[in-house]
Structure 1
Amino acid sequence: MVYVLASAILAAIAAACALFALHSRRELASALDEIDRMKEERQVIIEFLHRSADDIGSGANREKIYKRIVRATALSCGAMSACVYEKSPDGRLVAKACEGLFPPQTRKIEKQKSGELRAEFIEDALRREVVEPNEGVLGEVAASGKGVLIRDALKDPRVIRHEDESLKIRSLMVVPLVFRGQLGGVLAVANPISGRAFTETEFSLARSLGEQCALALQNAEAVSALIMKNKLEFDLRLASSVQRYLLPENLPEIPGLEFAVKYLPQQLIGGDFYDFFKLPSGKIGVVIGDVSGKGISAAILMALCQTKLRYIASTGKSPAQTLKILNSEMVRAMRSDMFITIIYAILDPSSGEAKFARAGHEPPLLARAGSDGPAVPVKSRGMALGMVSEELFDSVIEDASFEMGPGDVLALYTDGLTEAADPRGTEFSAKKLAETVSTLRSRNANDLNEEIIKSVETFMAPEKKYGDDLTLLTVKKL
């Protein structure tokens, strides 16, 4: 009897220990998940601060910092769109920068004008949008200074319901930009790319980014002091070696065409890249691109992109079809906070025919030999690689064609050139670049590039400090 009782007691103790161990393991797993989440959020904030400091150190104006804010927030939170609103002296909120198609929040979009691109139409509507104090969710957040997470925005009467399916807000986060108790604006983030509702984790990340945004805007020196950190020398050297290996050593020598490239990375590792390759038809492929971020991850992504692009292009597909396939393959290899803007052009040296597709990159400029006016941007629609779903990417991107006659000049470039700023913060701009290309179009390709860079550095004088990597690729028809 004693033995049976002792056995029962021991069994009960063992069961209790097992239950306690299971509960402890669950608590440990939950704690580890929370630690991982905090580490991930901390890394996002550190990267954002680092990039903001680069902008501030280069003398960036508020508009450029706003652009950095919305891009970093949308990518980090996995959102389709984001918009930052600045508080004006009269207390109203004014939209300053937008990433993606962010729906206006004070009124429904008017009927789209005939022939006007939807993205341009929405951007114009946002530029004219003013949010009154306490108006809607944005005004509520500005008045209270507290962020709002709306998981199901379709059921919330505070959120504008647009008829256009692509403008409907299904989930929304709005956070204040507050520095030392002073409201500078609000940051709104809409619609996760995954299609689900925003989570508390993403809301926490958005709030943290909002706090750091306010800090970056209000105290540039403090931000610079906070985020200064050294990158590992090994990573820098390795990424730099990879990049040097990938970029063409020599320019192509093609009868009928003249090429020149100016590549000025601002660190050991640049985010820009370019490429040339001959196609089976006797035509030549020309590529220019810009990978988000820097360092070894950007260099590896660049290597994947260039290798895959060369292979796909060798099959003879059109530029748009090539980029569709490239996006489909690259999106699976890219982190959610990375993307690539790119132009892929196919040039026919004999006929002068050119066909290209543009995935979120700056439009190329074409200067005609017989024209006295500025070079004109050759536009086509397209979104950056890895930024949106394959379906949306494929539905937007398109081919554009034109012909180059003798003496015509085609200039492809990255935003580091047009965003180069003078001491007052005024950017060189695409308009000034177009005028400069037109003025210099009689020069050979190499001299034209050199003179453009001189013009930009004269504009920036006396500091002549670029805020971003710069690549200028020029093609002249002989």
Structure 2
Amino acid sequence: MNLETGTDGIRATADSIMSAVSYEALLTTLLDVIRSVSACESAMVRVFSSRDWIPVHAHTGMSPRFLRDESLIPSVDCLCGRVARGDTDPSLFFFTRSGSFVTNDVDSLLARATDEQLGPVRGRCIAEGFKTVAAVPILHERRIVGVLHMASKQKERLAPEAVELLETLCSQIGGSLVSEGFELERQRKLLGSLTEALLPQPPEVIGGLRVGFAHRGASAPDAVGGDFYDVFELEGGAMGLIVGDFSGHGVGAAGLAARCRFLLHRLLLETADPAATLEAANEELAGSISEDKFSTAAVVVLDPAGKKASVALAGHPPPIMADRNGWARTGEVAGPPLGVSRGAAYDVEEVALSPEASLVLYTDGLTDSRNEKGQRFGPRQLAELCRSRSHLSPSELAGELCRVSDDYSARKHLPDDKLVLVARAQ
């Protein structure tokens, strides 16, 4: 689709978008317009789920890792967040009079703008290598309801006329994005963003590890929970593993969990030290979340040969190391949960791994299942199960642990999420 210039052309294009018969068709048409107007190969459409969170509802050209990190962000974060809040200053060279953020050269932006002018920056677009970046507000009755995000790894991909055309278009289509008729589809998109941010299905092999993952969501009406995980390569061939559980349920808890996962990922990449990662994350969270919120976390670094694990815990259940000959719990001494108070210290435990050992990380929903007698499916039973099922692949073992925990419970509905991450050297 080509966007014609002039008022009539823009109106016709807006009408075409707003006449879409489904929310998916509307978003697809909007992405088509973005590609036709700009020279950017990557784009996202964000639509507010509340005034605090802006999930991605449609995207094109984004890498899986970038999409995971950016699929749900708080509206206080970064320049996209400033556009979403309407907190822009047209006297600054990177904001327009219509409230958009635009740079055709990220390197020049960072060299010219002060930290005070930019405000808090997540740095994810920079890390991805984008050189052209823009965020345009989507309006309904002069209220910002979403953000159009465009990016390219080449400089000078957005002409001023293209930005003006997109600003005019985005001032006219917001009503369709927030139409009551599309509410169910928007909720599905939100759920997809939450899943992408917290619980994507990992590949079976990452770096030198075979990986398995399983998750069961709670059954409550606000069942979206705060469980999260991550697996990624560190410099030198080591592997980082993170499992955490942010307190509460609902979109707010899930959004904070996504923020916590992103923070732990970034810090572990920088330090390759589980304890230093938790200490830095705790300092940042303790100063930015409410007093009744916190997150538990297990952070692990596996050496390149998979023979040693460095484990640090923040109020989280100790991981289990198991093979056919036995089992052990690792990192028995846990520091406090993240975000409770500043100045917390965390210890690292070094654990030797046998060649066939599985390292099992999990959230407490797995071991909190209780049978009809009120007896808990505790860590010891879980560890014995890990040993007796050690012949299974990591994916099979993760699924089996969740299944047995489900069967053990006398409750028909799950009161809490369950998450299992299994890692084993190839």
Return the TM-score normalized by structure 1: 0.47
Look up the match of 1:69.
Answer: none
**Residue deviations 1:275-333 (CA, integer Å, cap 9, x gap):** 11221222111110000011122122112212222221221341100111111111122
In the superposition, relative to structure 1, how do residues 239 and 361 fare at CA in structure 2: closer, same or farther (>3 Å)? farther
Question: Cα offset for 1:339?
Answer: 0.3
1:429 is displaced (CA, Å) by: 1.0
Give the distance between the partners of 1:402 and 1:324, measured in 2 at CA.
21
- Residues 55-112 of structure 1: per-residue CA shift (max 9 Å, x gap): xxxxxxxxxxxxxxxxxxxxxxxxxxxxxxxxxxxxxxxxxxxxxxxxxxxxxxxxxx
* Whole-Å separation in 1 of the counterparts to 2:402 and 2:354: 25
- Distance in 2 between residues matched to 1:235 and 1:332, nearest whole Å: 32
Partner of 1:341: 296
What's the counterpart of residue 384 of structure 1? 337
Change (3 A) 1:366 1:469: same
Per the TM alignment, residue 351 of structure 1 is displaced from its structure 2 partner at its CA by 4.5
Match of 1:402 in 2: 351
Q: Which residue of 2 aligns with 1:263?
A: 215
Counterpart in the other structure of 1:471: 419
Q: 1:307 aligns with which of 258, 262, 267?
A: 262
Q: 1:457 to 1:335 in 2, by over 3 A?
A: same
Q: Decide whether aligned partners of structure 1 residues 473 and 249 sit closer, same or farther in structure 2, where only a CA change above 3 A counts.
A: closer
**Could you tell me how far 1:236 is from its partner in structure 2?**
6.5
Residue 235 of structure 1 and its aligned partner are, at CA, apart by 9.9
Corresponding residue to 1:434 among 372, 377, 383: 383
AA paired with 2:380?
A: K
Alignment of 1:59-74 (within 5 A): none
CA RMSD of aligned residues (A): 2.4
Letter of the 2:404 partner, please give it. Answer: S
Identical aligned pairs, as a percentage?
30
Give 1:256 shift.
4.1
| Matched-pair contact (CA < 8 Å) for 2:322–2:386 | yes
Letter in 2 for 1:270: G
Q: 1:418 aligns with which of 364, 367, 382?
A: 367
Amino acid at match of 1:261: F
One-letter code aligned to 2:309: A
1:100-111 superposed matches below 5 A: none
Contact kept in structure 1, 2:330 and 2:349, CA below 8 Å: no
How far apart are the structure 1 equivalents of 2:421 and 2:236? Answer: 23
Taking the aligned partners of 1:364 and 1:436, their CA distance within structure 2 comes to: 14
Q: Distance in 2 between matches of 1:253 and 1:438?
A: 22
Q: 1:382 to 1:450 in 2, by over 3 A?
A: same
CA distance in 2 between counterparts of 1:286 and 1:457 reads 25
Kept in 2: contact 1:458–1:464 (CA 8 A): no
Report what 1:460 is aligned to: 409
| Higher CA-based Rg | 1
Distance 1:332 1:451, change over 3 A: same
1:285 counterpart letter in structure 2: G
> Any gaps of 5 or more consecutive residues in structure 1?
1-231
Q: What is aligned with 1:183?
A: none
CA contact (8 A) 1:272 1:290 kept: yes
1:254 CA drift (Å): 3.5
1:253 to 195, 199, 205: 205
How far off is 1:234 after superposition?
Answer: 10
Give the whole-Å Cα distance in 2 for the aligned partners of 1:447 and 1:417.
16
Match of 2:235, SS?
A: coil
Per-residue deviation, 1:431: 1.3
Instruction: Give runs of aligned pairs for residues 159-170 of structure 1, distance below 5 A.
Output: none
For 1:238 and 1:251, the matched residues in 2 are separated by 23
Contact 1:343 1:357 in 2 (8 A): yes
The residue type paired with residue 209 of structure 2 is L
Cα distance between partner residues in 2 of 1:378 and 1:321: 15
Instruction: Report the alpha carbon displacement of residue 412 of structure 1 after superposing the two structures with TM.
Output: 0.7
Gaps of 5+ in 2: 1-182
Partner secondary structure for residue 418 of structure 1: coil
Match of 2:239 in 1: 284
Distance 2:269 2:371 in 1: 43
What code does the residue aligned with 1:384 have? P
**Which structure dedicates a bigger proportion of its chain to helix?**
1
Q: For residue 422 of structure 1, what is the amino acid of its counterpart?
A: N
Q: Aligned AA for 1:254?
A: I
- Residue 233 of structure 1: CA displacement? 7.9
Given that residues 422 and 460 in structure 1 are in contact (C-alpha distance below 8 angstroms), is that contact kept between their aligned partners in structure 2? yes
Using the size of structure 2 for normalisation, the TM-score is 0.52
Alignment match, 1:330:
285
Give the secondary-structure state (helix, strand or coil) at the position aligned to 2:257: helix
In the TM superposition, what is the alpha-carbon distance from 1:408 to its structure 2 partner?
0.5
Q: Once the two structures are superposed, what CA deviation does each residue of 1:109-166 show, in whole Å capped at 9, x if it has no partner?
A: xxxxxxxxxxxxxxxxxxxxxxxxxxxxxxxxxxxxxxxxxxxxxxxxxxxxxxxxxx
Q: Pairwise mapping of residues 108-119 of structure 1 onto structure 2 (< 5 A)? A: none
